[in-house]
Structure 1
Amino acid sequence: MVYKGKKWAKIVLIILLSLALLGALVSLGTLNSPLMNKIPLLIMVFVYSMAIYHFGFANSFKDFFIFQNAEITESHQDSKQLMEAEKFWKIIEITKSKSSRDYEKQQFELEKELQKLTVKEVLEFDNKFRALKGEIYNWNFWAAAYIINGGCSDDCFSDFRGWLIGQGKSIFERAIQDIETLSELNETNGGDWEGLSYIPTNVYEKKTGNDMPQGIQENFEIYGEEWDEDEKYLKNKYPKLWAKFGMK
């Protein structure tokens, strides 16, 4: 807690170290024994004294403590700043590469990558993620999720969009240009798409101990041409997707 910038923890630690130092000094003064037997007490006095100096008076630790508190203060501040696209997609590609197309492992890899960032950068990553999910809140993408999964609720579609972002920039942007390109996917994780969207929030809370700020609000106004759940309609409108997934 001291190294996380908690002032109360720093005070408690210095009090405990001071009591330990006092105890060592009293023992050193009252112990009637040869000098060799007092060496452990001398070491204790030295270690506790250096620790008290470090945590209470060292300029280097004061600067570090200020920095940690600045991070915590920053964590409470809202921001709608988006992470730069190149940086965002690089993180996604790293997690995809390291996970070897294992979606659960990709979530673990994303958590590791986000742990390397500042809390502000984690928020910016989440903002970008939400913005991209909102960008594909589109009837064509919902149809694709519906066909691939054999049905898709609101929550399922939200998870699908998060999963699709995790497939990387190339697949994502090609699908925006032509939704039928998703028929080229060979692995869709069996429709188990939940998880990736939650990682930024989890990392933020672990790093700060606070809830994720509101940040950018994901678009929830669906756009595009609404489709009919009728099998013949979907087959005609999305022939490639239906040929790959709809006949299962």
Structure 2
Amino acid sequence: MTEDEFWGLVERSRGHSPDPGRRLAWLEERLVRLPPSEIADFQVRQDETRLRSDTHALWGAAYLIMGGLCSMDAFWYFQPWLIGQGRRTFRLVTAVPDLLAELPGIRRLAGRPMGGWSDAEWPEWESLNYLAATAYERLTGDEDGLSDALLARGHETPCDTAPADPSWDFDDPAEIARRLPRLSALFPARARG
């Protein structure tokens, strides 16, 4: 599976349904029709893509949106959500995290208490992390099959974030305003700390 094929599946799932659960079911049905090696390819492409979003710059943006409720795990779940927004959006936002302020799903959250956000509105898609393993097991009957296949290739799927760019204080209002002016305007109370 090429990178283009990976993105094609992700983007077609978006056109199929806006609901994350339905998108996941649609993707799983497509993956189980493929040979096991292509399911493994899907996981490799997802891991490669995720690494491009594994930055403190993007983590700080997610932290601001989520009002400080963006731990390492929450950022880990945010990254597949961003992948789910499609290739173009992913590329733009990973280059300039403040562009999250332009996404309709993020704009709908602005000014609303987080307690009122539905599960489908939260910018996270944890279940995408397990899609390839589920599809692989469903196809082969081997619970550890995907892990074994990836290790045989010399590929280890990361299980935590590990940003390589310089860290910064996500709770410093001046730093937030400087780095994320558009998001700070959308989420001003959170930007003030």
| TM-score under structure 1 length normalisation | 0.62
Residues 180 and 163 from structure 1, CA distance in 2 versus in 1: closer, same or farther, beyond 3 angstroms? same
How many matched pairs?
A: 165
1:129 is matched with which residue: 38, 41, 46? 46
The answer to whether the aligner puts 1:223 opposite 2:157 as a matched pair is: no
The answer to whether the aligner puts 1:177 opposite 2:99 as a matched pair is: no
Structure 1 runs of 4+ off > 6 angstroms?
A: none
Any residues of structure 2 matched to 1:84-95 within 5 Å, and which? Answer: 84-95=2-13
Q: Offset at 1:124? A: 0.3
Partner residue of 2:147? 213
Q: Offset at 1:192? A: 4.3
**Which amino acid counterpart does residue 217 of structure 1 have in structure 2?**
E
* Structure 1 SS opposite 2:105: coil
1:107 is matched with which residue: 2, 6, 24? 24
Percent identity between the two aligned chains? 30
Q: Quick check: which has more Rg, 1 or 2?
A: 1
Instruction: Tell me if structure 1 keeps the 8 A contact 2:81–2:123.
Output: no
1:196 is matched with which residue: 80, 104, 128? 128
Q: Offset at 1:217? A: 2.6
Partner residue of 1:235? 177
Within 2, Cα distance between the matches of 1:166 and 1:158? 13
1:112-155 per-position Cα deviation (integer Å, ceiling 9, x unaligned): 22122111100000111011112211111101111111120111
**Which amino acid counterpart does residue 239 of structure 1 have in structure 2?**
P
List alignment gaps of at least 5 residues for structure 1. 1-82
Q: Offset at 1:190? A: 2.3
**Which amino acid counterpart does residue 64 of structure 2 have in structure 1?**
I
Q: Offset at 1:232? A: 3.1
Within 1, Cα distance between the matches of 2:179 and 2:99? 14
**Which amino acid counterpart does residue 137 of structure 1 have in structure 2?**
D
**Which amino acid counterpart does residue 36 of structure 2 have in structure 1?**
V
1:149 is matched with which residue: 61, 66, 71? 66
Q: Offset at 1:247? A: 3.7
Between 178-187 and 151-160, the greater mean CA deviation after superposition:
178-187
List alignment gaps of at least 5 residues for structure 2. 107-120
Instruction: Tell me if structure 2 keeps the 8 A contact 1:130–1:218.
Output: yes
1:82-118 per-position Cα deviation (integer Å, ceiling 9, x unaligned): x31111110011101101x222221122112212211
Instruction: Tell me if structure 2 keeps the 8 A contact 1:150–1:246.
Output: no
